[in-house]
Structure 1
Amino acid sequence: MRQTSEAPFLGRHQELTSMGTWLDRAAGGEPRVVVIDGTAGIGKTSLIRRFLSGKARDCRVVTASGEEFERELAYGLITQLMCHLPDSAGATLREAALGASLGTAAQDPISVGAVFLDALGRLQDRNPVVMVIDDIHWAGTPSLHALTFVLRRLRVDRVLTVLATRDSADPRLPQGLHRLIHDDTTLRLTLEGLGVPELMALNAALGPASLPHRTMVRLRDHTLGNPLHVKALLQQFPADVLGGGRAVLPAPRRYERIIAERLAACDPGSRCLVQAASVLGMSSPLHMAAEMGAVPEPLTALTRAMACGLLEEGPTGTPPQVAFPHPLLRAAVYRGLEPAKRSHLHRMAADLMADPWIALQHRVHAAVGPDGQLAEELALFAAQQSEKGAWSAAASASMAAARLSAKPGRQARWLLQGVEYLLLAGDVSQAAELEQTIRGVAPDAEQHYVLGHLALTTGRLDEARRELSTCWDTCDATTGPEALRKAAEQMAWLCLIQGDAPRIIHWAERGLALPPGERSSFLRDSLAIGLAISGDYAQGMRSLAHLSDTGPRDTPERLDGLLARGMLHLWNGQLREARRDLKEAFNSHRRGGLPYAALVALGFLTDAAYRAGQWNEAIAHGTHAVSLAEDTDQISILAVVHAVTAYPLAGRGDFRAAEAHAASAAEHARVLGDINDSAFAATALALVHTARGDHEKVIEQLSPFLPPEIVPRYGIEEPGLVAWRPLLAEALTRTGRIEEAQAVLAPYERRAAERSRPLEQAAAARCRGLLEEARGHVEAADQAFRDGLRHCAQGDGCWEEALLHLAYGTALRRSGRRRSAAAELEAAHRTFRRLQATPYLERCDRELTACGRVTVHPRQTGHPVLTAQELTVARLAVQGMTNQQIARELLLSVKTIEYHLSNCYSKLGITSRMGLVGKLAQDD
């Protein structure tokens, strides 16, 4: 048998060259991702090590690895990365990432990602950063969501990220990460087995006997060139056995047995250290492994274990760490433990752990059968985590409780709770994998609720309605009110997706009639929204009377309904109040409320900023909302956030980006079968056509929403929700289809007046002015335009007001009142210039020229030379915020903020922040 020795690195030259090219681009400020996939033992880790010791040897390296035994640990991957951060950042991230298990407020992946992003930015000051994450398929979902968030926000950072996995198409990986893996800027390397020349070199390195070429060909075919397996065979069998001319090569013994033989050859102290370390994970503190293994001389034992190729020193730090060279090696040692010893070591580990959740997990692994007391402790821990919104930890604990319980009723209850927590954590793929298991549970109301929740989350709306209705129909005296309340909440959400206002109200009222729960719910929001889209705005606001004007929002009573109040303010044209409530709802739900409610709030906050004429803010919120929804697989809100993000982009003439968002909105609306989402998507595309002046395409896009083709009419007919009727009425008017325009506009005018909604009345008045002008009714048109401006004057400044000035000024110019026209057009011009609304600015210029006015674009005001992101960063800098504060506000890296500010200085001809004050003063 060959002696154990360190195998050389063989082959993979093309892969190393490609990775080097990607590192060069990252070092130049173009962050890049490399994905390496291949079967276990194929050489992914060896390739990464060679890359780090070669091309990347002068880089700052940040490493972590997913672990099968720690997959259920929320932010386990992030806490590994934390070890490489500056001390202050590490402490902050430790608090954020471990908040759930330490009893503090739960942190969502976005908060944890933002802290890590901030710290990562500070690592790249002197050298590029290489962030390596091995075995990402074993990482927990919260960590992967946080990682995806970070990677999507590296814009000009000198960061190369290397991800290794057995299968890059693994369905357990979040969809947001899948999109990054398959992005055009990502380098994907799929490793195949080594060729015969490389295997011959491996054989020569292991020595002493060499094998002929034909034997190595057979060995390659026998193992598919897997270097770990080839090495095991070469070490297991003597040369005469492998090259003795046998018809069939000997079947390799399991890799675990080879490792067991190597372990048996060690002295007792080293063997006990390795075995204890395998229970603790891929890496662990040396002193902890030594205490568990009763090793009197830990450093001596570690040295001997390293000589046997079983352990290596972990990252430099205090206390000293030990690590396994390969996950398969660690798994082989762990699986080779006698059951009694494995259980004993897990019990010892549980006693040593300060983190209660990790201690509970070790106790789970130590259990030898059903353990009612431990199951109850796990269920209690799950309930505590769910109260804080720590859904991933709650799911893991609840699942473990189900496995350990000997009582079928409790097993079923905890399993169903665990699946619900997975859905709330955004871990849809893992929840879906358990669907057949759930169907095997004895049918009851709770089972039907969870199946309905799962169906709704995955877009199977008809099935969701069937299961949730059955939940109510099958309830009996044993059914707890919590299951019924949650079923009512999901039914109300389903009806909201489909725009069925009476059923929204029905299910919200049924849920609210039950005793209140301990976590936030969407019932109060659903009731208010249902009332509003059915036309009873006043009653909707009365249903939210329990809410204070300001926080804190630390209990369901203080938070539930806040999102709806912001939406109702938006639809009523109270834009300042809407932006206040929606921003607070977004932040509060992120801190432990409902993940999908947070994204709904951010989506409608985008709409509010657009209507208020705060387009930089709208674009920032919209792109943020799209990113977060995609990163966390919140499918049900994607149509709305894509649509509203398109609104200001269309107004600015960024048609390519606006059309892309509108197309995505339409596709998500089609999948969900939602009329309201479809109306949002169509309106987004219609705004693009309107800005281009293509009114025929506006008509083509919006005409399908006219009755009687579309039923029911709730939502899309309510003034303030989605402005498709004013756009269609304007397009019909401008194409000379006057009577059709009248038929479209009249219901909108009537409803806007009945609801007393000033901004909708202003939009209706503008369309009425255009219509009357087209009929030749000059006085009626004049009155309509003035009425519209009067409605706008009732609130804060808004986009509609600029459109009214343009339309009124154009009408005045056509009737020969050029002086009056110029005053209206100049008012519109100021707003268009400030918003960088290029298509509208050009029209306004033409009208002013026709009035005999020469338009001058002041160099400083509006700053069309700056991008929206640059202008947003500049304005925050003028407010006195530091680069780090701006990065946290915009959820970008510090390096990206520095890049944007540098561009601002260059474009504006200044050298410091002080210069920004003067350049931006006129805008303020």
Structure 2
Amino acid sequence: MDSPNADSFVGREAEIALLRQAVHDARSGVPSVAVITGDAGIGKTALVRRALRDLEGFTVLYAWCDASERDWAFGAIEQLVRRIEPRTLKDFPLFVQGVDSTTAPMAVGAELIGLLGTLEETNPVVIVVDDVPLADEASVKALGFVLRRLWADRVLVILTARSGAGPATPSLDDATAWQRLIRAVEHTQLIHLTGLDTDDVIHLTAELSGETLPLPAAQRLCRHTGGHPLYLRSVLTTTEPSRLADPGYTFAVPGSLTATVRSVLNGLPPESRALVEALSVLDARVPLAWAGALADIEDPAQALEPALADGLVRWWPTDPSCPVQIDHALQRDAVYQALPPPQRQALHRAAVPLVNKDAAWAHRVAAAGSADPELARELEQEAHRKAAADHADRAATLLLWAAELSTTRAEVERRLLTATMHLSYMPTYDRDRTAALREAVERCAPSALRTCLLARYAHWRGELPTAERLYHEAIEQAHTEGAELVEAVARVNLGTMYALLVRCEEAAQLLRPAVQQGGLDPRAAIEAYWGLACCKAFLEGPKAALTVLEQTHLPDPADKVPDEQGMLAVCRGVFREQSGDLRRALDDLSTTLGRPRARVGYMRTAGLSYLADCQYQLGLWDQAAGTADQAMTVAVADGALPAAARAHSIACVLAAGRGHWAAAREHLRTCQQWVQGAAAPERDWVYPVRAEAALAQAQDDSEALYRVLEPVFARPTAGAYIAAKMWFLPLEVEALTDTGHLPAAERTLERLQALAADMVSLRLAAARAAGQLAEAHGLPDAAREAYETGLAQPSGEGDVPFHRARLEHALGRLLLASGDKPRALEQLNSAHERFGALGAAPFAERVARDLDAGGDHLATGPASATTALTDREQTIARLVATGLTNGEVARELFVSPKTVEYHLAHVFTKLGVASRRELRTTLSSH
């Protein structure tokens, strides 16, 4: 880590104690996050520096965030890894090659998890992100992915944030990216700093001057400065303690930190002052030689000393370039604002050749001083280049600068609106910056683009009638203005909104011409095809939706799909999963979502949930649990409430299937919260209902299952949502049959059989439902025929192991009741083994009871050993039992090898095994 100047430090004993406890926890393998908030200059960074000085044997990764760097995707992450030795980074290609804006935050987060795992093999790690609200959104999302996977790592994360950007938010809808990150993390310690008290002021004075300030003087000084440490230091730098102790001394009125900093500046020698002023213009940590060149002084090292002594400048003398920077942003602002405009402009002009091209744009803009049409044109051209290279954030910044330098209102507003459009159409749009521009957009003169953007604002907030009206207005305005691109975009936006609302005819009328006419932005074209495919799925089923995607000539298999068509590949995977083509769906979803630079946009969150569901159906429950957790992380980071609800729904299904009741109920509760708080399509009610139904089924509670499904009975079509039919129809037949509602069960069975005729993944469930209903009617022969016909189907692409095991169990029970004990035991043993492989403990226990009744007693209780394991332990144990190494399991689950090692040790202890071979034997016997 860099070696900044030493800080005098007073007070904060309680806060230091909290950080020391967090350090102790991290050293012991209990990861935690400390969030330090407070007003600007209150001492957040100083507290972090003090905490870091106390560390021994830690690897420190540090990132300083700055508003000027929010344009650069993964800038904060790159700072964290910048000082790591190349030989350590060699196994992490994303960091070696450099992360670009097209890389998925999840992929960067996964790489960082692997890197932390390597680092903590030697030393525990502390990650510091200073002023995290100013971090770029991509970095925040990558960090969010990391934080949810620090299960048992020797890692401490410290974040600082100014007051007003704290993590307490009324709802996820209103939260910024970093606030959503904090909401999703366990073991978070909040530390809020306020002003120093009178005793601290006395101690600070003694430390800085060696003199003791009388209590009345300390009280007056504390009142004057509000106990603000930076203000206190500035006052003590410019005023002798003896004067402060004089009861007749009067503080300057009005007193302010800015005035005090300027007083300190005025007391510096001329060359030192010039150096500090140059640093205020450069506004970055730069080599001392650069600052000296800009200040036009011969000996910058000598000029630096007085500025260091007065606390205005920090330096890093151990770095070869001896970088320097103004100590605090408040000091920098005070110095910068004190510069006369001509001097400020001259310094900015002189800074242009000293910095790189990207940084030079800001200095050229600051040097302009007035409207500059030529510079505005250059900025716009550069913005177009950045947008074409997928640097939408940077393109927006350049356009906003161009707007400031424009000479006509029309140019100002065109560039402002175009900047907002870039931000709103990013692969994962920048919510915070786009929202901040809303008032400026509203003040613009009426135009098609303005109206289209206002419609998107309403759309994001869930104000769908307003969005609909504005989209129609945008289409009409664009047609009148001849703004073909805006008209096409408005049609696509409205069409996709209609598609999600299952207003399919209206959606198709808008989307089909947009696709046929061509000329759309590639991202808008992809959205149009996606909307058309959704309409087809709602009206004719998922196989019809796949015919729409075929028109895009999307390569198959998924590893042939170009990155820019990633969203279409995910859509194809979703519709294949819904049509029962599970293996090819798995290929589309896992391959595309696993590629770091696949352009999948907002489909990443939905795609991960569908991937988890696909893995669940295929019997890959351990992988499904890990994927569902990834989906939760990404959904919360993106503020995608429906996707978060979907992810918690499948996580509840998995936890319930394994008998982890507390975890299942927690996922259900969170799923319900997300749906209740979401500005989401009305059909999202299905997610908590599905989760609660799975919980009732796993607990073998037919009455509860019936009660949970009552909203579904009231909506026999469950909308036109094909996934809802897949989930609910088997459950409906089961609930209706077990509670004696046989006529309704017959009608529902007919719908299930019709769907299963076109969806192979439902055929086993339909066979079991038919047999169950036949048994309820007292027709054992018909039931047996239904069961056997279902089981006679070969295991193929759409085979669902869970459904096959339940069908075997049903047939085994029927055979046992009819006296065919040998065949009954064969079916029951097969079902028990299949449930055991899944880890479906409640279902395996039911089979075990029937085996006991048939006289085929198990050596140990069914799944008794694994039920002692937590969700995470069970997932890791089963993956290890397949022969994977700790490192391979870590990569599979996106955790560190240390985490795998920690949980595996608990697994060995709980199961009473001493080797991986014994673990495999134990799991295979249950």
TM-score under structure 1 length normalisation:
0.89
- Structure 2: which amino acid aligns with 1:370? A
Per-residue CA shift, 1:189-233, capped at 9, x if unaligned?
Answer: 222222222222333444487654233323322322223223333
Aligned equivalent of 1:829: 832
Q: 1:498 maps to which residue?
A: 501
Q: Do the aligned residues in 2 keep the contact of 1:719 with 1:760 (CA within 8 Å)? A: no
Q: Quick one: distance in 2 between partners of 1:367 and 1:31?
A: 49
> Does the 8 Å contact 1:808/1:821 carry over to 2?
yes
The equivalent residue for 1:802 is 805
1:650-705 Cα deviation digits (max 9, x unpaired): 21112222232233333333333534321132111101001101122222221212
Residue 601 to residue 702, structure 1, CA distance change in 2 (3 Å): same
Unaligned runs of at least 5 residues, structure 2: none
Q: What residue number does 2:13 align with? A: 13
CA distance in 2, matches of 1:712, 1:836: 30
CA distance in 2, matches of 1:637, 1:504: 22
2:720 matches 1:714: yes
Q: How far apart, CA to CA, are the structure 1 residues paired with 2:919 and 2:214?
A: 77
Q: Give me the whole-angstrom Cα distance separating, in 2, the residues matched to 1:528 and 1:787.
A: 34
| Deviation for aligned residue 1:611 | 0.8
Tell me the equivalent position of 2:456: 453
RMSD: 3.5
2:414 aligned counterpart, secondary structure: helix
- Rate the CA distance shift 1:385–1:457 in 2: closer, same or farther, 3 A: farther
Distance 1:315 1:774 in 2: 83
**Counterpart position of 2:588:** 581
> CA–CA distance in 2 between the matches of 1:197 and 1:525?
65
User: SS of the counterpart of 1:29?
Assistant: coil
1:375 aligns with 2:380: no
Q: SS of the residue aligned with 1:544?
A: helix
Stretch deviating more after TM superposition (17-26 or 58-67): 58-67
Alignment correspondent of 1:752:
756
Q: Is the 8 A contact 1:819 1:851 kept in 2?
A: no
Q: 1:920 to 1:659 in 2, by over 3 A?
A: same
Number of the residue aligned with 1:690? 697
Q: Report what 1:139 is aligned to.
A: 135
> Does residue 109 of structure 2 align to residue 113 of structure 1?
yes
Q: CA deviation at 1:898?
A: 3.7
Structure 1 CA distance, aligned partners of 2:311 and 2:327? 8
Alpha-carbon spacing, 1:489–1:628, altered in 2? closer, same or farther (3 Å)? same
Paired residues for 1:515-526 under 5 Å: 515-520=518-523, 521-526=526-531
What whole-Å deviation, never above 9, does each CA across 1:346-381 have from its counterpart, x for those lacking one?
A: 344443334x43333333333323333433443344
Give the 3-state SS of the residue equivalent to 1:81 in structure 2: helix
How far apart, in 2, do the equivalents of 1:237 and 1:907 lie? 66
Distance in 1 of aligned mates of 2:140 and 2:421: 19
1:160-217: CA deviation from partner (whole Å, max 9, x where unpaired)? 2222222242779635644626966222222222222222233344448765423332
Flag the 1:579–1:93 CA change in 2: closer, same or farther, 3 A. closer
Q: Secondary structure at the match of 1:672?
A: coil
| Greater CA drift, 874-883 or 285-294 | 874-883
User: CA distance change for structure 1 residues 349 and 449 in 2, over 3 Å: closer, same or farther?
Assistant: same
Asked if structure 1 preserves the Cα contact closer than 8 Å seen for 2:287 and 2:324, the reply is yes
> 1:155 and 1:564 mapped to 2: Cα distance?
32
2:568 and 2:563 map into 1 onto residues whose CA distance is 12
The TM-score with structure 2 as length reference comes to: 0.89
CA distance in 2, matches of 1:492, 1:856: 60
The residue that corresponds to 2:738 in the other structure is: 734
What secondary structure sits across from 2:549 in the alignment? coil
Judge conservation of contact 1:586–1:599 (CA < 8 Å) in 2: no
The percent identity for this pair of structures is 30
Residue aligning to 1:542: 547
327-336 or 691-700, larger mean C-alpha shift? 327-336
Equivalent in the alignment of 2:367 = 366
Structure 1 residues 782, 113: CA separation in 2 closer, same or farther (over 3 Å shift)? Answer: same
Is 1:62 paired with 2:61?
Answer: yes
In 2, distance between residues paired with 1:851 and 1:878?
30
2:645 paired with 1:639: yes
Structure 1 position 829, deviation (Å): 1.2
In structure 1, the partner of 2:121 is 125
Equivalences for 1:453-492 in 2 at 5 Å?
453-492=456-495
Of residues 597, 601, 605 in structure 1, which corresponds to 2:607?
A: 601
Please state if 1:619 is matched with 2:638: no
Cα distance in 2 for partners of 1:328, 1:363 equals 23
2:579 pairs with one of 563, 572, 583: 572
CA distance in 2, matches of 1:9, 1:404: 45
Matched AA of 2:576 = H
Match runs of 1:371-450 below 5 Å: 371-423=372-424, 424=426, 425-450=428-453
User: Any idea what the Cα deviations from partners look like across 1:329-349, whole Å, max 9, x if unmatched?
Assistant: 233233333333333433444
Q: 2: CA distance between counterparts of 1:561 and 1:909?
A: 48
| Amino acid in the other structure paired with 1:532 | A
**Higher mean C-alpha displacement, 470-479 vs 8-17:** 470-479
Query: Residues 7 and 679 from structure 1, CA distance in 2 versus in 1: closer, same or farther, beyond 3 angstroms?
Result: closer
Q: Secondary structure at the match of 1:250?
A: coil
Partner of 2:685, secondary structure, is helix
Determine if contact 2:580/2:798 at 8 Å carries over to the other structure.
Answer: no
On the 8 A contact 1:585/1:601 being kept in 2, the answer is no
Change (3 A) 1:912 1:694: closer
1:561-596 CA distances to partner (integer Å, 9 max, x unpaired)? Answer: 3222212211221110010011233245x6252421
SS at match of 1:513: helix
Q: State the one-letter code of the partner of 1:274.
A: V
CA shift at 1:613, angstroms? 1.0
Instruction: Show the counterpart of 2:51.
Output: 51
2:35 is matched by which residue type in structure 1? Answer: V
- Who is 2:33 aligned against? 33
CA–CA distance in structure 1, aligned partners of residues 922 and 296 of structure 2: 68
Offset of residue 612 of structure 1? 0.8
Counting only pairs closer than 5 Å after superposition, residues 807-886 of structure 1 correspond to structure 2 as 807-856=810-859, 869=872
How far has the Cα of 1:648 moved from its partner? 1.7
- Are residue 528 (structure 1) and residue 533 (structure 2) matched? yes
Q: CA deviation at 1:880?
A: 8.5
In structure 1, runs of 5+ residues without a counterpart are none
Partner of residue 148, structure 1: 144
Q: Deviations over 1:376-421 (max 9, x none)?
A: 4433444444444444333333333333333433433332333344
Cα distance change of structure 1 residues 620 and 95 upon mapping to structure 2, 3 Å threshold: closer
Aligned to 2:337: 335
Question: Relative to structure 1, is the Cα distance of residues 313 and 122 closer, same or farther in structure 2, using a 3 angstrom cutoff?
Answer: farther
Cα pair distance change 1:881/1:847, threshold 3 Å: closer
Quote the Cα distance in structure 1 between the aligned partners of 2:568 and 2:143.
31
Q: Which residue of structure 1 lines up, in the alignment, with residue 83 of structure 2?
A: 84
DSSP 3-state at the match of 1:713: coil
> Which of 657, 666, 672 is the equivalent residue of 1:666?
672
Q: Is the 8 A contact 1:195 1:220 kept in 2?
A: yes
Pick closer, same or farther for the CA change 1:817–1:17 going to 2, 3 Å.
same
Alpha-carbon spacing, 1:522–1:886, altered in 2? closer, same or farther (3 Å)? farther
Q: Find the aligned partners of 1:636 and 1:176 in 2 and give their Cα distance.
A: 19
Sort the Cα spacing of 1:496 and 1:837 in 2 relative to 1 into closer, same or farther, 3 A.
Answer: farther
Q: How far apart, CA to CA, are the structure 1 residues paired with 2:272 and 2:118?
A: 39
Distance 1:503 1:805, change over 3 A: farther
Partner of residue 562, structure 2 = 554
Change (3 A) 1:638 1:41: same
Does structure 1 conserve the Cα–Cα contact (< 8 Å) formed by 2:144 and 2:633? no
